[in-house]
A and B are shown apart, each in its own frame.
Chain A
Amino acid sequence: MNYHWNWPIFWELSPDGVHTYFATLMIGTGWTLLTSACAFILALVLGSLIGVLRTSPFPWAMRLGNVYVELFRNVPLLVQMFLWYFVLPELLPTAAGDWLKQLPNASFYTAVVALGLYMSARIAEQVRAGILSLPRGQRLASLALGLTLPQTYMYVLLPMTYRILLPPLTSELLNTIKNSAVALTVGLMELTARARAMQEFSFQVFEAFTAATIIYIAINMVVTFAMHLVERRVAVPGYLGSRTPAAGH
């Protein structure tokens, strides 16, 4: 193999003249984590809302939830990013469109919104399945005790659902972190984009991608370990905590 390895490349100055290549990768890691965290919070809030709508007794709410999920699940994330980044500002009134285009860090906001909405459809599916997995008696008993429907969800159904759903939600969080790499297509300089830039400037392809891969694996392990600790604390006694196989990334 006639590839010239050069591991000390990480300590050389990158073309921005201030940071070493290692530092640029770390900044990228920061953007990856920030984007994923914001997107996941958005996805969790919206996903829970849609998931609740889809289990509510109102047919219009169920239909609305179904349309939402189908819409965001059946269009590739990359295309959704482009829609938010290139198409939305053109469809808005001129003033609003111009404001959006000139926003500092526009690609960051685009990535958060696109990734958040994309993941919310998946989380809505999980939340719906979680709520439906609860015994019917829990809903009936709380309603019989005089709780209103919102109270039933707030105090009885959702707390149980989240405790049961922690393992699948962990994998959705990991998916969010992985999918945040797609944001490089709208110009967000996150970890993969930084590794790509490092490869372009230094021609050290495999060093750059090895570093990025190791950082992603490390993030993955930390998240998995942390969520495992939380899982043990909040596990519902009496459940087997079984995971069902599902397709997806």
Chain B
Amino acid sequence: MFSNFDFEVIVRSLPYLFYTGMAFTLLLTALATIIGIIVGTMLALMRLSGTTLLTLPATAYVNLMRSVPFVLMIFWFYFLVPYIGQWITFSVQPVKVGAFASCLVTFTLFEAAFFCEIMRAGIQSIPRGQVAAAQALGMTYPAVMGYVVLPQAFRNMVPVLLTQTIVLFQDTSLVYVISVTDFLGAASKVAQRDGRLVEMYTFAACVYFVISFAASRAAQVLQRRLAVIR
């Protein structure tokens, strides 16, 4: 069964797998998480604003993103981002966008919908009295949100945000469908070049497992340490 398992091919391709593939995966995960949380928080504030003009588009956007497959969205943005670039820069031709930028826009905009729902739950977990007290002290809306509500909402939701980041990390493997060289893409290219599918895919699965498992354990520890005593 494992008699002709060739470990050498894995060792040989390690630099390529990690310096090219994993670097792409981790950078994409980190940037998409950070920007996604910022955009998601803004969407959450829009959804909770109580003004139809803001609530409606935010709700429609979030529901749209949540009801279509991520793979379809990756295709959508892959073709749409050049046109968005053209629209923003007023150029005549659709703008040429690199693989990384295209993926980053896709992941940020898609995950923002999920981060929005998490932040919305976080904001709603803050007792109403705190907002009332802050307003009674004369704080403006940005001050109430920036100093009172959002820091606590964020702290309450850190474990869930981390779990979503792990989901995002696993989802980055889907850029395979537009032939981008992320970790799985790199593994797949070596696998097909050397005819070593079994070794490369098994190794990729192990690496994903180790990273995700360690991260979810870390999230659990963090959850226990961050828990606010009430």
Chain A residues in contact with chain B, CB under 8 A? 1-3, 70-71, 73-80, 82-83, 86-87, 90-91, 174, 177-182, 184-185, 192, 195-196, 199, 205-206, 209, 212-213, 216-217, 220, 245-249
Contacts and interface: CB of A to CB of B under 8 A. Distances in A.
Interface residues of B, number: 47
A70 B166 CA distance: 13
B176 interface: yes
Interface string B203-215: 0110011001100
A215 to B, nearest CB: 10
Contacts of A181: 69-72
B147 interface: no
B79 A205 contact: yes
B201 A87 contact: yes
Given A74-B208, A192-B72, A185 B198 contact: no
Contacts of B160: 245-247
Contacts of A179: 69
Contacts of A199: 75, 79
Interface in B52-77: 64, 67-72, 75-76
Contacts of A73: 212, 216
Q: Say whether chain A's binding surface is mostly helix, strand, loop, or mixed.
A: helix
A1 B75 contact: no
Given A75-B208, A79-B208, 20 more contacts: A1-B83, A73-B216, A75-B205, A78-B176, A79-B173, A79-B204, A80-B205, A82-B188, A87-B198, A90-B197, A178-B67, A180-B69, A182-B71, A209-B79, A213-B68, A217-B68, A245-B118, A245-B121, A247-B167, A248-B163
B209 A71 contact: yes
Nearest to A196: B75
Contacts, number: 128
23 contacts: A3-B83, A74-B166, A74-B170, A75-B212, A78-B176, A79-B201, A86-B197, A86-B198, A87-B197, A177-B69, A178-B68, A178-B70, A195-B75, A199-B75, A205-B79, A206-B80, A209-B72, A212-B68, A217-B64, A217-B68, A220-B67, A247-B163, A248-B164
A94 to B, nearest CB: 11
Across the A-B interface, give the 8 residue pairs with the lowest CB-CB distance, nearest first. Answer: A181-B69, A74-B212, A245-B121, A247-B163, A76-B170, A247-B164, A220-B67, A181-B71
Interface of B: 1-2, 64, 67-72, 75-76, 79-80, 83, 86-87, 93-94, 114, 117-118, 121, 160-161, 163-164, 166-167, 170-171, 173-174, 176-177, 184, 188, 197-198, 201-202, 204-205, 208-209, 212-213, 216
A48 B2 CA distance: 33
Nearest to A92: B1
B119 to A, nearest CB: 10
A83 B173 CA distance: 14
B173 A78 contact: yes
Nearest to A74: B212
Contacts of A216: 67-69, 72
Among B70, B160, B205, B216, residue most surrounded by chain A Cβ atoms (within 10 Å)? B205
A76 B212 CA distance: 9
Q: How would you classify the secondary structure of chain B's contact residues: helix, strand, loop or mixed?
A: helix
Contact of B213 (A74, A78, A184, A220): A74
A206 B81 CA distance: 12
Contacts of B69: 177-182, 192, 216
Contacts of B79: 199, 205-206, 209
A180 B69 CA distance: 8
Contacts of A2: 93-94
A74 B169 CA distance: 10
B71 A192 contact: yes
B114 A249 contact: yes
A249 B68 CA distance: 10
A3 B184 CA distance: 33
B209 A74 contact: yes
A76 B29 CA distance: 14
Contacts of A246: 160, 163
Given A205-B79, A248-B167, A249-B114, A76 B202 contact: no
Nearest to B206: A75
Given A178-B68, A178-B70, A184-B177, A1 B86 contact: yes
